[in-house]
């Protein structure tokens, strides 16, 4: 009889877990819809900005505007000495491989640079990634919690500003950003983006509209371009955060869906076991009664 009770207890526990996972899935679905909308809207801005930057940096390269080669943001350093890696993970777990994928990618990048004898500084966003690196005793330069679950333009600007300042001052030679982005409801896509220095490589001189020279209307051309590039980097960072939130919710939704299904399957097989045990118990009881009656005859 103890066996029956055990099974019953198990069924109860599994089905209550199932309730939790189902609720979490519903919450994530609702949140995902909002995050997806936000990501879509800011994607337009980010893409347009990328276009503008690509065109301008390409044109600068082609037309060799005076005095602009000196902008550090555009200078491509072949042998970086110091690199900043920014990784974005979630603050919460229970979202499948979402966090571990990002951490793995960050780690790979880290060891790649180590092999090349490049010093790396890690800057983390999101509790899960920070916890992982702390546990493995890898030093983090900077850590921010709460930003990845609720992206805010101001905090994101503040965070990236530190990297920009260091880059400008020559302390770092490149800045990478690693995050898991949203692709569609079912898949996430890992991004490893080099945000500094800017690559003007993609733009070939043949794409320049002929006969149209770029005129920059400002008393200080360098300042204008520097400002524009800073906006570009900030928007990249903010977009990465938004994209990562959308991806986090889609990953969690999926993970919780799978968990709910697994729990359902488990309850079903436990129910079968329970019924079997119950039948066995009844049969034994019957036999006992019958044999008791038999012996009294």
Partner 1 sequence: MSKFKLEILTPDGEIFNGDVSSVTLPGEEGEFGVLPEHASLMTQLKTGVVDIELEDKKTESILIDWGFAQVDEKKVIVLAKGAVAIRGSNESEISKALENAKKLLEEVADSNTAIASVSSKLESAAKSILK
Which residues in this chain contact partner 1 in the complex, by CB under 8 A?
A: 41-42, 44-46, 48-49, 52, 55-56, 153, 209, 212-219, 224, 227-228, 231, 235, 238-239
> Of 114, 159, 161, 162, nearest to 138 (Cα)?
114
Least distance to partner 1, CB of residue 209, Å: 7
Contact 111, 227 (CB under 8 A): no
Least distance to partner 1, CB of residue 157, Å: 10
Least distance to partner 1, CB of residue 222, Å: 12
Long-range contacts formed by 286-292: CB under 8 A, 24+ apart:
none
SS3 state of residue 210: coil
Least distance to partner 1, CB of residue 62, Å: 12
Contact 108, 200 (CB under 8 A): no
Least distance to partner 1, CB of residue 168, Å: 19
Q: Which is nearer to partner 1, 230 or 257 (CB)?
A: 230
Q: What are phi and psi of 197, to 5 degrees?
A: -70, 165
Contact 177, 193 (CB under 8 A): yes
What is the token pair recorded at 102?
């990002």
What is the token pair recorded at 288?
């006992």
Q: Which is nearer to partner 1, 231 or 287 (CB)?
A: 231
- Give the separation between CA 159 and CA 293, rounded to whole angstroms: 84
User: Among all chains, which residue has been given the structure tokens 């801005």?
Assistant: 45
Q: Which is nearer to partner 1, 136 or 210 (CB)?
A: 210
Q: Which is nearer to partner 1, 242 or 251 (CB)?
A: 242
SS3 state of residue 258: helix
Q: Which is nearer to partner 1, 220 or 285 (CB)?
A: 220
Q: Which is nearer to partner 1, 237 or 259 (CB)?
A: 237
Q: What are phi and psi of 237, to 5 degrees?
A: -65, -45
Least distance to partner 1, CB of residue 150, Å: 16
């Amino acid at each position: 009889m103890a066996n029956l009770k055990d099974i019953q207890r198990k069924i109860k526990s599994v089905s209550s877990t199932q309730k939790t996972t189902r609720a979490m899935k519903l919450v994530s679905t609702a949140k995902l819809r909002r995050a997806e909308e936000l990501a879509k809207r800011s994607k337009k801005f980010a893409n347009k900005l990328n276009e503008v930057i690509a065109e301008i940096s390409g044109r600068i390269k082609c037309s060799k505007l005076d005095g602009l080669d000196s902008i550090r943001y555009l200078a491509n350093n072949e042998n970086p000495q110091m690199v900043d890696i920014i990784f974005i993970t979630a603050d919460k777990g229970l979202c499948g491989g979402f966090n571990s994928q990002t951490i793995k990618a960050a780690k790979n990048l880290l060891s790649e640079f180590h092999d090349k004898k490049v010093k790396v500084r890690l800057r983390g966003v999101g509790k899960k990634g920070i916890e992982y690196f702390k546990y493995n005793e890898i030093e983090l330069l900077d850590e921010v919690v709460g930003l990845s679950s609720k992206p805010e333009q101001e905090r994101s600007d503040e965070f990236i500003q530190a990297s920009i300042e260091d880059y400008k001052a020559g302390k770092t030679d490149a800045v990478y950003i690693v995050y898991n982005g949203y692709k569609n409801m079912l898949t996430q896509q890992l991004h490893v983006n080099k945000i500094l220095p800017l690559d003007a490589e993609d733009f070939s001189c043949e794409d320049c509209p002929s006969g149209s020279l770029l005129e920059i209307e400002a008393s200080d051309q360098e300042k204008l371009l520097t400002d524009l590039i800073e906006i570009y980097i900030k928007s990249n960072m903010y977009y990465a955060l938004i994209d990562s939130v959308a991806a986090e919710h889609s990953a969690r939704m999926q993970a919780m869906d799978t968990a709910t299904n697994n729990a359902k399957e488990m309850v079903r097989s436990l129910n079968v076991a329970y019924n079997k045990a119950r039948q066995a118990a009844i049969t034994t009881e019957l036999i006992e009664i019958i044999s008791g009656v038999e012996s009294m005859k």
